[in-house]
Structure 1
């Protein structure tokens, strides 16, 4: 469920063992609004695996708080794997030189997350600083992890201050809305079919998608819509995306189309064993998604459980819906047997793939 800015979730944090402090949580959109109003926080803890969105936030923070001509003096970059946290705090406590405000960007995997390194950190120095941070310093911790270590006092203190922001992958619908907005920014609207074709061809990496949307927009022309035919014409599919389409054709009984895709992959010098490995991976994902959604997991929860992007889970769920778990398990077993036979030379590789695909389509 997305955050409603008009309904604050409340956190109650024990301060000095006596008082309860009530602090509203904010999301990325609210934090950006604060920054645009000229009211940045003195502490941010940014975590997540979606690097593009996280970096986008940092860029906006820099652009709004530090004039370009002052950035050499005002921006400091540090890393807790190389620098003790007390040195980071000392930097934050030092008044800025010739600039109104300084920005300290700190890479971290140990102070707020569960990573380990050889550096000894006096975390109590940071906790004390977090009680009353300087307004002239903006301290930003950057953590590339899908979660923080909730047991740590630093995480609890950062949440109490309201400065924790997550940058996790979009859900399937959120991703499609994001693509639509990126296309509209360039005055090149995309309909649902074009968006799905783009995601199926290019994958879900946001940096890649931005580049491809820019290319499509230039091709379509100012104010012109981008359609699925343009996407297919301009955006090359990866081997993984081609195999996904191959499996899609197989389970829909489109043997000729699937075989054509197979021969195209072989022409591109893709190894049959690699193609089979990707087929096995896709069938396994379909089976896992079917099992999890059958146990009332949402697609977002299934994605988290399997370590997959929610959009990939959405597509796998749509594929798996057409077959029961027994059929998928049977395909997986036969594909694994073929993998062994191919690697031991008991079957000719291309012939083995052709027979497996025809068997799957026949069912």
Structure 2
């Protein structure tokens, strides 16, 4: 399998299209953009139909086999998109992926989307089978040292030029959140009439931003400000924010807390655990505050809850996503709204 960096993907797709692509990483924006590039290239070569599957604990793996074998009534070729949120297909899933990779159909393109994979996962037989048949696009996080250069590149792609002070201010504003950075750059495209971005302009944009924002919600929850977090959540709902955008930010923060908590439990000091988890220095106080309230087992339960909300948003569970987001925010802020009993119930519906 060709191992590709995201910036190499475009050129590789112009040369030829492989039957299988594996996209892996925890940077949601870069993963989304890589997948979009693959879909666009596939559509240009006649893959006009797309089937999407979420391989959670309830997923039946024969659906992958059926999708590969079934002929489309509306298109000659189709994209089969398989999302594995925990990165672990299990024994049955691993076998299904190996079988698919041994003889991938010519009229299908399989796109497997995974979180960051550790070395052990990359040594698994199912991954090896995919490796033989296709390409692996590994998404690495953008660290603090790389962020200014990345932001400058994105600004240039948008037709904007920014001075050093503006780039530093933007980097401080987004704190490593690439999705937030992309949103800020889209905003700047509308405001920078001459294509020039200064620190003063950026300061004005930040000052005039919406009253409620997803990242403010996360910060209030980590601080233990339950009332403030709930007000923010209600404000976001009133402004028409998509539940998945809020859930993404909350789940990302919970995963970070889990990584720090288990790193500390395994003997790492707090600062090193934060560094390993990609926590910015400016956020260490928030993380320490939250970990003073939440035990690792509670954080694991919150992440399972987030996965359940994801299924509810996508219509795979009969539940109200906004009510469950409220429960999740309250518990993250220190209000024990989730008991083991109702957590199990929410995951089983």
Does TM, scored on the shorter chain, surpass 0.5?
A: yes
Matches for 1:176-187 after TM superposition, within 5 Å: 176-187=148-159
Asked if residue 130 in structure 1 is aligned to residue 101 in structure 2, the reply is yes
Asked if residue 235 in structure 1 is aligned to residue 211 in structure 2, the reply is no
2:53 is aligned, of 78, 81, 86, to 78
1:92 is aligned, of 68, 71, 88, to 68
Query: Residue 324 of structure 1 aligns with which residue?
Result: none
Query: Residue 31 of structure 1 aligns with which residue?
Result: 9
Q: What is the CA-CA distance between 1:41 and the residue it aligns to?
A: 1.6
1:42 is aligned, of 19, 29, 48, to 19
Deviations 1:308-333 (A, max 9, x none): 25xx35x799xxxxxxxxxxxxxx9x
Asked if structure 2 preserves the Cα contact closer than 8 Å seen for 1:25 and 1:162, the reply is no
The TM-score normalised by the length of structure 2 is: 0.56
Query: Residue 340 of structure 2 aligns with which residue?
Result: none
Asked if structure 1 preserves the Cα contact closer than 8 Å seen for 2:77 and 2:108, the reply is yes
Larger-gyration structure (1/2): 1
Asked if residue 107 in structure 1 is aligned to residue 77 in structure 2, the reply is no
SS in structure 2 at match of 1:139: strand
Query: Residue 41 of structure 2 aligns with which residue?
Result: 64
The change in CA–CA distance for 1:217 and 1:302 in structure 2 (over 3 A counts) is farther
Q: What is the CA-CA distance between 1:189 and the residue it aligns to?
A: 0.5
Q: C-alpha root-mean-square deviation of aligned residues, in Å?
A: 4.2
User: Number of matched residues?
Assistant: 239
SS in structure 2 at match of 1:168: coil
Query: Residue 278 of structure 2 aligns with which residue?
Result: 308
Asked if structure 2 preserves the Cα contact closer than 8 Å seen for 1:48 and 1:147, the reply is no
Query: Residue 266 of structure 2 aligns with which residue?
Result: none
Query: Residue 196 of structure 1 aligns with which residue?
Result: 168
The change in CA–CA distance for 1:173 and 1:162 in structure 2 (over 3 A counts) is farther
Q: State how far apart, in whole Å, the 2-side matches of 1:32 and 1:130 are.
A: 23
Query: Residue 191 of structure 2 aligns with which residue?
Result: 219
Unaligned runs of 5+ in 1: 1-22, 245-268, 271-287, 289-300, 318-331, 340-363
SS in structure 2 at match of 1:41: coil
Q: What is the CA-CA distance between 1:303 and the residue it aligns to?
A: 7.9
Q: Which moved more, 1:61-70 or 1:124-133?
A: 61-70
Superposed structure 1 runs of 4+ greater than 4 Å apart: 67-71, 236-241, 301-305
Unaligned runs of 5+ in 2: 220-227, 230-259, 261-270, 293-349
The change in CA–CA distance for 1:307 and 1:124 in structure 2 (over 3 A counts) is same
Q: What is the CA-CA distance between 1:174 and the residue it aligns to?
A: 3.1
SS in structure 2 at match of 1:99: coil
Deviations 1:166-199 (A, max 9, x none): 2232133432222112212232201222111012
The TM-score normalised by the length of structure 1 is: 0.54
Q: State how far apart, in whole Å, the 2-side matches of 1:55 and 1:70 are.
A: 19
Deviations 1:196-252 (A, max 9, x none): 1012123322221112112223222133x21112212221598999xx9xxxxxxxx
